[in-house]
């Protein structure tokens, strides 16, 4: 792919990024930050692509670390975001006797 095509992709991606975020409520800033944080874990692909070209112990060891780092970034980022977002959801499926009863049932 030519450099110019890649730069075009880069610029368009920048506009997409700007556009997507401009209407986010404050409430979702933290999950959004951690969600986008997970996406830049995509660098792990770099580690995968370079491993077979690596020479010597140093490069191999460094790339294992890089892949591990990238994976932590991805896995951790998505799981943490999911946990956070799960808390924003209503929880009607929880034991109905307890939580629902407490809200409506006056003195308990």
Partner 1 sequence: MSTLGTIFLQSSNFINACYIVAFSLFIYGMSGLTGPRTAVRGNMIAAVGMLIAIIATLLTPHVLSGSSTPWLIALGLVIGTAIGIPAARNVRMTAMPQMVALFNGVGGGAVAIIAWIEYRHHFASGASFWVQKSQIPTLFAAIVGSISFWGSNIAFGKLQEILPGRPIKLPGQTIINAVLFTICVGTAIVLAAGVHSEPLFIVGILLAAAVLGNMVVLPIGGADMPVVISLLNAFTGLSAAATGIALNNTAMIVGGMIVGASGTILTNLMAKAMNRSVPAIVAGGFGGAIAAPAGPGGEDRGPVRSTSAQDVAIQLSYARQVVIAPGYGMAVAQAQHAVRELERALEKKGVEVKFAIHPVAGRMPGHMNVLLAEADVPYDLLREMDEINPEFGRTDVTLVIGANDVTNPAAKNEPGSPIYGMPILEVDKSASVIVLKRSMASGFAGIDNPLFYEPKTALLFGDAKQSVSEITSEVQAL
Q: Would you count residue 72 as binding partner 1 (CB under 8 A)?
A: yes
CA–CA distances in Å: residue 95 to residues 12, 85, 103: 48, 20, 13
Tell me which of 89, 92, 96, 104 binds partner 1, using CB under 8 A: 89
Handedness of CA 93, 95, 97, 103 (dihedral sign): negative
Q: Which of residues 23-42 bind partner 1 (CB under 8 A)?
A: 23-42
Q: Would you count residue 53 as binding partner 1 (CB under 8 A)?
A: yes
Q: How far is the CB of 46 from partner 1 (least distance, A)?
A: 4
Q: Would you count residue 57 as binding partner 1 (CB under 8 A)?
A: no
Beta-strand (E) ranges in the chain? none
């Amino acid at each position: 792919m030519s450099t110019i095509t890649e730069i075009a992709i880069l610029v368009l991606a920048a506009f997409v990024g700007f556009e997507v975020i401009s209407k986010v409520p404050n409430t979702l800033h933290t999950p959004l930050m951690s969600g986008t944080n997970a996406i830049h874990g995509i660098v792990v692909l770099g580690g995968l692509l370079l491993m077979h070209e690596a020479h010597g112990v140093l490069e191999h060891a460094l790339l294992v670390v890089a892949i591990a780092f990238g994976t932590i970034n991805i896995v951790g980022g998505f799981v943490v975001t999911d946990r956070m977002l799960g808390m924003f959801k209503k929880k009607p499926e929880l034991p109905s006797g307890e939580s629902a009863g407490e809200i409506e049932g006056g003195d308990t």
